Amino acid sequence: MRSIHAIIFDMDGLVFDSERIAMRAFIRTAHHFGFQMNELMHLNLTGRVEEDCAAQMQRMYGQDKDVRAWRAYLREQKASIRKAQGGRVGKRPGLLALLSYLHERDIPFALASSSTRQTIDSYLESEYLLHEFTNIVDGSQVERGKPDPEIFLRAATLLGVEPEHALVLEDGLAGITAANAGGFVSGFVYDDLSFAGSVDTGFPILIDLMSVDDVRTAADVSFDTLNDVIGYLEKARSVRQ
């Protein structure tokens, strides 16, 4: 176990319950356009910048599919669902306890998200967390999105910590791959989206997808909730001391 001097948070599905909105919107979109959709497809896409998501969906469904129209409709559905929730996105279980622990132990942390700064601020404001995340790297500040490690490396520089002593918390394949490529300690926190069901008819998924267990195996450490990160950090403190 390496000593941990800082934490880098992903945002969607890790800090916020926004991936539940995304999954529901994806199911609506799949029904509307007639393509198959399931939790693994989402797991393999989440965390990527828009251009990369579109390119990955082209690979998944074929170059002849108008995935940009699908994704435009998807964005409309996300906005509709969020509006129906009063603009809220919800916080992930254990987030507030973990933030409290980080403050208590004086462990610095940052938010590193492929989203725009406008979206990040909107989510933070809706959940009354603007004051918590003062160190932020957004998608506009990098040239290469996840699974490239650039966004995490920028966050580490912002925090003044070497990657090998920073724990990156992620809920998707692209993020775990990026953390590993950058030499960080990668922590996978599974966001179970099976509640939304799947669409099993329509245009098929043409490529093999990584499973949840595959992502768990790729990560240095796996957590059920953000609460579990506290115990891991307590053990890592003994290494640091």
pLDDT at position 240 over 60? no
| CA-closest candidate to residue 223, choices 19, 23, 14 | 14
Pairing of strands 109-112, 6-9: parallel
What pLDDT is recorded for position 231? 96
Question: What is the distance between the alpha carbons of residues 102 and 106, in angstroms, rounded to a whole number?
Answer: 6
Question: What is the distance between the alpha carbons of residues 182 and 152, in angstroms, rounded to a whole number?
Answer: 7
Q: What is the pLDDT of residues 114-127, one digit of tens each?
A: 999 999 999 999 99
Q: What is the pLDDT of residues 139-162, one digit of tens each?
A: 999 999 999 999 999 999 999 999
Sheet holding 221-223, edge to edge: 136-137, 109-112, 6-9, 166-170, 185-189, 221-223
% of the chain surpassing 70 pLDDT: 99
Residue 186 pLDDT class (50, 70, 90 cuts): very high
Over residues 98-111, the mean pLDDT reads 98
